[in-house]
Structure 1
Amino acid sequence: MGRSNTLNNQGLETLLQNLEVDGPLPVFPSISSYPLENPMDIYRLYLTHATNQIIECDSANIYDSLQRPTNASKCDLTLVVPRLGIRVKKPDEFAVEIASKFPKSPLFTVIPPSGIWVPVSFSPKTLPLLLLPYVFDREKTYGWNLSYGLKYETNISTPRKKVVVEFSSPNIAKEFHAGHLRSTIIGAFISNLYESMGWDVVKVNYLGDWGKQFGLLAVGWQRYGSEELFKQDPLGHLLDIYARINREFKPEQDASRDARDKGLDTEEIESKGLYAERNYFFKRMENGDEEALTLWRRFRDVSIERYISTYARLNITFDEYSGESQVQSSTTEKVERILQENGICEEDNGSSIINFKKHGAPKLASTVIRNRTGTTTYLLRDVGAVLERAEKYDFDKMIYVVSAEQDLYFQRLFKTVELMGFPELASKLLHINFGKVQGMSSRMGTVRLLSDILNESGKAMHELMKANEVKYAQVENPKDISDIIGITAVMVQDMSGKRVHNYPFDMTRMTSFEGDTGPYLQYAHARLSSIIRKTELGRDDLANADFSYLEDNQHVTYLLRLIAQWPDVVATALKNHEPSTILTYLFNLTHQISSSYDIVKVVNAPEGPDVTRARASLFEAARQVLNNGMRLLGITPVDRYILPYMMEPIPLTAHHGDCPLFFSIFETSIWNLLTGLQNVRAGNRLFHFFKNNTSRYTRDIS
């Protein structure tokens, strides 16, 4: 006999009745709650209702006072008394009074408070009976909440909100290097995140395909370009040319900067040499010179072709390949006219500038919108792009995923749109910044090409996979799998910290497999997949298992708690736009899973087939959440993972609090491989230790 479906209110109500929960699911018009998308909200609604019966307080205040604790091992939610908005002399005593009056519920238990918090713990008996059907009903969409994307949340028939996400945006005629990686993977994550929350997402790659930097590259091509080298490696040759011409240009730039710092006129310096050649070529482009534009189109086409192949490896697509060159001249002229009519721009030494100090923004100083040579600037073209996109897409939000080095620039951009008389449009613009990859400069020729990084990390994984000859022979596409795992290693390493933090580019760091890494994440997913395969249970068997056979122990309960938190985690990420929020949660989940394997045995569980089914269902729900999280980050999960037998991550017996510590021979071995076996002595000790303990520590995860 099948169970009720929790995808609709009727089915969810039926399940709650079967759990002997008193009364229907509470409804509060003043509260935005999503019980059909987030199981935590079911508990919040019943707790709000129960608290409302105890004290006189606004329901919305009670609901907002229910917070997830910092230490989730102690409880699942806490009622924060000061947030109730009730004036009491002794909040701690009031907390005790509230806790003492709470009615009994099959869903939760109120723990005696210590301080101003009333801790609430979900019942380990009913939690699996409610949560696991909930996850199985939603599968790949568990954690998603399409209601966030509705223009009016109370009306599901309203159109979805639209967000334009501009990210990656490399300059043409330059190779896609590690410096572009951050914008690309963070932007892809932001796009996935908004899409999972119901927004209509337009992904735009706004190429740097216009400007004086292209004029400089063209001058370099005229001096050093080789058709033969271009045919062999188009972008590699252009990158060499760009680095070479920039080294030659640097003394002129330094001279101009020194003159400017001394308050001198830079016109004479910038009217000759490479300055003049660069400006002249770009002026030809803006004037529509066909010879100049033919060269520009040639470099643009080969650049886009290479970028598309790199994006394919990262599993990223765009809805639009745009660029500065595609902003209409009529639009930039319109922008300039509005600025002039509103008295926003002024002439300064032959250039048209905006002095933000005169318009209530002294920290933004001054900036040029049209150069003394008559050519447009980034700012003028970008303001034009804002107006064109607003007309084309009628967006509710537009996000720029660009380095924190451009913070000032985007403040100026948004302020300019506001000063033009479009404050509402300006309020829809958001800059999501990130720290830079230090030690990377295409101008100085110090870039590390992303394709090389991905190739090297994939190759390292492939070599390790081949060490297990038997399993290697059973895999259809081992090179594809090793490439995916190598890409995962690079992506996870980049997303592991807060996005605003800088980090030095270091190949060893990028491809290190120590600690919480991409390969470990893939390993965790593959091992869960292997366990489910070995049970030979189908999806229906797992979804309709008797979950009451899940025993009440801390491993099962902690894992269920983490699974229940997933929709909350996604909602938090939507607020802070941090991929590390998702990644931190996923590693906490994998740690809890790993610590449970030896306690919560699945395959041939001695307790019998019903217990096997229930435990397999628990691990399948955990795998589904891990899979959903990896896909949200832009990572392709693998179901099979080949490891040399003595390189599997092994949980040790040491514990820190409630979290087991992990040590990975696999990770250390790859670290040794990629750093030239710099730590051979330590590697040998580890190798011999596991050689002597193979039967004890090896596992088959095919």
Structure 2
Amino acid sequence: MNEKNLVAKVLFDALSGDLTLEQIEKLLEKPKSSELGDIAFPAFSLAKTRRKAPQIIAQEIVENIDTTGFEKVLATGPYINFFLDKPLVATNVINEIVEKENFYADQAIGNGTNVTIDMSSPNIAKPFSIGHLRSTVIGDSLANIYQKIGYNPVRINHLGDWGKQFGMLITAYKLWGDEKAVQAHPIDELLKLYVRINAEAETNPQLDEDARAWFRKLEDGDKEALALWKWFRDESLLEFKRIYDKLGVDFDSYNGEAFYNDKMSEILDILGAKNLLKESEGATIVDLEKYNLNPALIKKSDGATLYITRDLAAALYRKRTYDFAKSLYVVGGEQTGHFKQLKAVLTEMGYDWAKDIEHVPFGLVTRDGKKLSTRKGNIIRLEPTIDEAVERALKQINDKNPDLTNKENVAHQVGTGAIKFYDLKTDRTNGYDFNLEEMVSFEGETGPYVQYAHARIRSILRKANYQAQANLTISANDAESWEIVKLLQSFPDIIKRAADKYEPSIIAKYAISLAQAFNKYYAHVRILEENEGLQSRLALANATAIVLKESLRLLGVQAPEEM
């Protein structure tokens, strides 16, 4: 039971049914100053029903409160201020963490049901850029978070391996391509061709028509078109998998758009059987006016299918295959309208599980304030960026700890962790400007800062030859240690909130706060001083390291033992 639950329960018993437990919890506040206690309850909401001044109500309630588990409970004006029994809370929290270690804060909310997570999903034959990073790391972190609360995450990489862009690419390759050059540097050469044809198509409409013709051939199973498409796809996947290995991200499925080619006819049959299809200017649509949405364009006038047709097929396939409790789509905010249409069409088709689909949007990554674009060749390629981040981390490690063993491995953990953490600490719906120097800094609100705090604690524990002990009595009477205890106690709620809001930044910000709290404690307390409080201080440090490491793991970031 956390501190809010404890206070709410005590108040519920004292209020004799005036408010529900849930209502009480929502009213609880954190006082502006620790001198006013740890949790406060404002009595204003009871003034109307009790017909008394809030300060009188507060005083009356305090007289009925069971103060077990509290240092004291005071009425201060219209507020009831609760001062927790610090040694009792600290002892319970620290012992639980030391006993459970990485299983601390595990929850059984999901009961082993599946959550499908559509994430990363880069386009074939294009370089893996920073623009793909957000979906990849947000999706991976959400998978970790949902596993922590009892779900079974299914990571799906819905590759962009179909569509008119392949008509563009085949047209460009037929006009200007060099087989040997593509074999030597596939992604680089394919990118050059893609950028060139998009630039030239702006003044030469025939190229656009040729691209459409080649894509129709591809859809019709033309051997040459299929062979080129498969070549482009295979080469791209080799590069993507190498980058995923560097990021430490893997997938349960690589089924992309092409996988659903033979599954769309069923969708069209269902839509037709339910009389949902309408003709509009030669195209086939589903009218969504009652949802205040634009019509969903199911087939173009030339018969070509669209994203939504494939996403309908994908949604049905995933429900049948995984029977998901939730289906998350970690896709940029610009696709919000598309996912509203997807849910609306599925609802019209009679699938009540459409309500379990959630679009998890995110903001853009920019460079110098400018939007990145593969089509215009303005991208930041991810693989060389990771390599540079690792080099920067290695330089700082050499400056700080030149004798560190396994420096290269630690530098990889720090460099990749820095990029991922910087992305994840940003509120998901906000974007950010890419700044590698700031990301890899060991100072400030960064991944390396949190990793370094963890490594520092592990160093302290090694110096003390620390061995975890069960059922220790923990004193937490100084302000610095009490702040750590309160943060550690809140970890289960932090995880639940991050899951509810699909927001890994809640955990990243929590990790920063915990690292900062420990560094403040470290600056004020002589942890290794030989006296009766030594084991208590070491247990607090150990519990902090455990939770820091687990916080980082939930973000997909490793926690080196030494730095």
TM-score range, shorter chain: over 0.9
Distance 1:379 1:70, change over 3 A: farther
**Structure 1 residues 71 and 432, CA gap change in structure 2 (3 angstroms):** farther
Range that drifts further, 401-410 or 571-580: 571-580
Counterpart AA for 2:428: R
Q: Which residue of 2 aligns with 1:406?
A: 335
Match of 1:196 among 140, 143, 148: 148
Within the candidate set 39, 55, 59, 2:16 is matched to 55
Equivalent of 1:491 in 420, 425, 429? 420
Q: CA RMSD in A?
A: 2.3
Q: Which amino acid aligns with 1:299?
A: F
Query: Are residues 1:274 and 2:246 paired?
Result: no
- Residues 511-530 of structure 1: pairs in structure 2 closer than 5 A: 511=440, 515-530=444-459
Out of 455, 459, 462, the residue aligned to residue 391 of structure 2 is 459
What secondary structure, in the 3-state scheme, does the structure 2 residue paired with 1:601 have?
coil
SS of corresponding position for 2:254: strand
State how many pairs are aligned: 557
1:56 is displaced (CA, Å) by: 3.7
Label 1:621 to 1:506 Cα distance change in 2 as closer, same or farther (>3 A): closer
Alignment-derived partner of residue 535 in structure 2: 613
Quick one: structure 1 residues 347 and 103, their matched pair in 2 at CA, closer, same or farther if it must change by over 3 Å?
Answer: closer
Give 5+ residue unaligned stretches, structure 2.
none
Q: Which amino acid aligns with 1:437?
A: V
Partners of 1:512 and 1:341 in 2: CA distance: 59
Q: Distance in 2 between matches of 1:141 and 1:203?
A: 22
Partner of 1:64: 25
% identity of equivalent residues? 29
Partner in structure 1 of residue 174 of structure 2:
222
Is 2:485 the counterpart of 1:556? no
The answer on 1:78 being equivalent to 2:40 is yes
- Is the 1:51–1:62 contact (alpha carbons within 8 Å) kept by the matching residues of 2? no
Which residue identity lines up with residue 111 of structure 1 in the other structure?
A: L
The structure-2 alpha-carbon separation of the partners of 1:250 and 1:333, relative to structure 1 and needing over 3 Å to count, comes to same
Deviation at 1:372, TM superposition (A): 2.1
Q: Distance in 2 between matches of 1:556 and 1:287?
A: 68
Range with bigger deviation, 91-100 or 130-139? 91-100
Change (3 A) 1:405 1:113: same
Verify: 1:315 aligned to 2:232, yes or no. Answer: no
How far off is 1:113 after superposition?
Answer: 3.2
- Aligned position for 1:259: none
What is the Cα deviation at residue 177 of structure 1?
0.5
Q: 1:595 Cα shift?
A: 0.9
Show the counterpart of 1:445. 377
**Contact 2:393/2:415 (CA < 8 Å) preserved in 1?**
yes
Query: Which of the numbers 565, 575, 581 marks the counterpart of 2:490?
Result: 565
User: For residues 294 and 53 of structure 1, what CA distance do their matches in structure 2 show?
Assistant: 75
Tell me: CA distance 1:286–1:569, structure 2 relative to 1, closer, same or farther (3 Å).
Answer: same
**Partners of 2:426 and 2:432 within 8 A in 1:** no
C-alpha deviation, 1:467, in angstroms:
3.2
Change (3 A) 1:125 1:504: closer
Please point out which of 545, 554, 558 is paired with 1:623: 545
Aligned pair 1:131/2:63, yes or no?
Answer: no
Partner SS, residue 543 of structure 1: coil
SS of 1:395's equivalent in the other structure is coil
Between 1 and 2, higher relative CO (CA 8 Å, sep ≥ 6) is seen in: 2
Aligned residue number for residue 469 of structure 2: 543
Partner residue of 2:74?
111
Q: Which is greater in Rg?
A: 1
Residues in 2 aligned to 1:87 and 1:305: alpha-carbon distance in whole angstroms: 68
Change (3 A) 1:71 1:204: farther
* Cα offsets for 1:266-304 (capped at 9, x unmatched): xxxxxx612221111111111112221111111111212
Following superposition, the deviation at residue 344 of structure 1 comes to 2.6
Aligned AA for 2:323? D
Amino acid corresponding to residue 386 of structure 1 in structure 2 = A
| 1:396 counterpart residue number | 325
Output the CA distance in 1 between the equivalents of 2:436 and 2:524.
Answer: 38
What are the superposed Cα offsets for residues 284-332 of structure 1, whole Å, 9 maximum, x if unpaired? 1111122211111111112122111211221111111111111142x31
Q: 1:96-129, CA deviations, whole angstroms, 9 ceiling, x for partnerless residues?
A: 32123323324453232343x4232211221222
Distance 1:430 1:514 in 2: 36
In the superposition, the TM-score normalised over structure 2's length comes to 0.93
- Which one-letter code corresponds to 1:180 in the other structure? H
Alignment check: 8 A CA contact 1:170 1:208 kept:
yes
* Residue in 2 that maps onto 1:504: 433
* Whole-angstrom CA distance in 1 between matches of 2:77 and 2:348: 53
Residue number in structure 1 paired with 2:160: 208
Is residue 242–residue 443 contact of structure 1 (8 Å, CA) maintained in 2? yes
Determine the C-alpha separation between the residues in 1 that align with 2:200 and 2:55. Answer: 70
Conserved 8 A contact 1:405-1:436? no
Distance (whole Å) between structure 1 residues aligned to residue 339 and residue 202 of structure 2: 26
Query: Which of 555, 558, 562 matches 1:636?
Result: 558
For residues 443 and 537 of structure 2, what CA distance do their matches in structure 1 show?
30
1:263 corresponding residue in structure 2: none
So what's the TM-score if we normalise by structure 1?
Answer: 0.75
Does residue 576 of structure 1 match 2:501? yes
Question: Which one-letter code corresponds to 2:540 in the other structure?
Answer: L
Q: 1:94 aligns with which of 57, 61, 64?
A: 57
Would you say the 8 A contact 2:455–2:562 is kept in 1?
yes
1: CA distance between counterparts of 2:436 and 2:11?
A: 55
Select which of 418, 437, 454 maps to 2:347. 418
Distance of aligned partners of 1:85 and 1:333 in 2 relative to their CA distance in 1, 3 Å threshold:
farther
Secondary structure of 1:335's counterpart equals helix
How far 1:180 moved relative to its partner? 0.5
User: Is the CA contact (8 Å cut-off) linking 1:57 and 1:86 kept in structure 2?
Assistant: no
Q: 1:361 aligns with which of 263, 269, 291?
A: 291
**Unmatched runs of 5 consecutive residues or more in structure 1:** 1-34, 151-159, 253-271, 642-702
Alignment-mate amino acid for residue 461 of structure 1 = A
